[in-house]
Structure 1
Amino acid sequence: MDGNTAAAHVAYRVNEVCAIYPITPSSPMAELADEWTAQGITNIWGNIPVIQEMQSEGGAAGAVHGALQAGAMTTTFTASQGLLLMLPNMFKIAGELTPSVFHVAARSVATHALSIFGDHSDVMAVRATGFAMLASNSVQEAHDMALIAQAATLAARVPFVHFFDGFRTSHEINTLNLLGDDQIRAMIDDDLVRAHRNRALDPEHPFVRGTAQNPDVFFQSREAANRFFAATPGIVAETMERFAALTGRDYRLFDYHGAEDAERVVVVMGSGAEVVRAAVDDLNARGGKTGVIAVHLYRPFSAAHFLAALPETCRALAVLDRTKEPGAAGEPL
């Protein structure tokens, strides 16, 4: 199974609406959802999800926003410029504290030339939206993190971008331990699903949302949301613990691999983590003192969890980024 199929397998089962528009290399996720609906495959609640292809990624994001406001469990799949077209609706979805997961096969955004291959310039462009950002580094992780993100967004009320490297992970075919529907069901709290439905816009229970505000009130409201984002790392960590108890696969916000007394540590996010782990094992087998931290939860970034993962003996840290941010003092990771 490839990374796209691994992520879509979970996303399809925990949603009721998928608003889609194809863009390489994320298109197979949307195509599979459409195919499964045609075959009558149901989600974990016994319903066949509604799959709606829109006129563009901007339309898909608008449809996601509308379906979420109606109380439906809703997702989409995208990459690169498609993700950028979703930005206006992403600011709204996050600002309204609406749980959802966007699954992204990360890909270069066209600059001096078009590239359909992988870097993180698309997902890094969404840092300011208020979406949490959860990275998968392998096909198995793309499968598992899709579920962890869905369970965490319901608890945190912060929407998530779950991303993995385009082609390098999205199209990599590998063996994996497939989650059963019972396991997926056990991770999704029905009380939180009902709470999401109860927040839907309903003429029978009118609620004011989407008003125009002057700066004093606007920024008070923005600051009032801080507690939701502050709580998110703890919620993701607790969700990962529940997932480990259920499956035996143990994840952390920052996964450390290597010598306990490592002096040189690499920080990496994405498919490169697998290669660095192999290099660390080889170096340590020859007497080295090295390690690697693979980043999962990039936003909200928890310095406390990062420092807890970093060996106290570390003297040199190398951060391997997959994004060029011209004019910045350093790259975003």
Structure 2
Amino acid sequence: MKKIHLFFCVFLSILKLTSAQAYQWDQAVYSILDLVMKQEYDSAYKICNLRITADSMDIDSRYLKLVTLQSQLADYESYSLDGLRCIAMAESLITFLDNAMSIRSSPEEKEKADFLKGNIYGVLGIVKAKRGSILSSIRDARLSYEHFKRLKQSPSFLPDVLYGLGLFDYYIGDNLKWIPGVGKRARSGLEMLYTASKSDSPFRYGAKNSLVWVLMERGEFREADSIASEVLEKYPGSTLFLQVKSRAAFGNRQYQHAIELAEQLISLSLKRKVINWCDVLSGYQLIASCHIKLGNKKKAQEIASEGLAYELSDDTLRIEWVQKHRNSLMSIK
């Protein structure tokens, strides 16, 4: 399902440790992550670049710049267009971290580097998988997990580290549940996702995003809707969580409500500085599907025609989910 890994590393921490027990957050980190949640990526890039210009060794801002790019790719599903740029930035950042750690060698700084590298390898795994490089993505996902696992006993990195561990364990357990004992990892992974999402950490929204799509896959639509609604109270313009609500309403057979939410999704997406055609077409596809469920196939055909009437650029047509939504609309005859 679309965007299930949206923000895999978006909100996992950028830390300045005062002790082994607590984070010390820089206010700029809050500001940048808030902009990412508001989907104001250009503004987030601007703050990162200003901070890097002022201090070329600013690891936090370099990492947040990668987070912003990966979040933007996940939002627009533009992996086919900008995925290679994201991969290059991530690999460069790993090299930067390794070089920095050859100078900074305190235990706290090494833990932080492990944590950031866990997130960066997670980004690489996601982007490569989206681009079809499955074997390489599995390798990076495993490296990500190993970095996180080393930090599981570190109180400085709980509960945020549980996000990466939980997501990995859930999908390993769910996909290999036919193997005796492995299915337990899915239950454990889901528990870790819940723990990370319910924490007081400002980075809990990444866990919330992944958790709602896991719940959607499991058919737990009411729970997914509840979590999405909570986030929308703080970020009412988030098309990411609005899409969850619209799909959850459809799953709960609340077709008229799903139509209303999908109309909001289309309206917000068309008003964005860079139109998110994935979300626009997703809205049309959902509305048409609702009308079919309501027994009004003629209206569904009208909606499908309306959604297919937009003139899209060649680059936009290369986006996988744009293709899928258009194919779905074209199948309504």
Relative to its length, the structure with more helix (as a share) is 2
Question: What is the TM-score normalised by the length of structure 2?
Answer: 0.29
Relative to its length, the structure with more strand (as a share) is 1
Question: What is the TM-score normalised by the length of structure 1?
Answer: 0.29
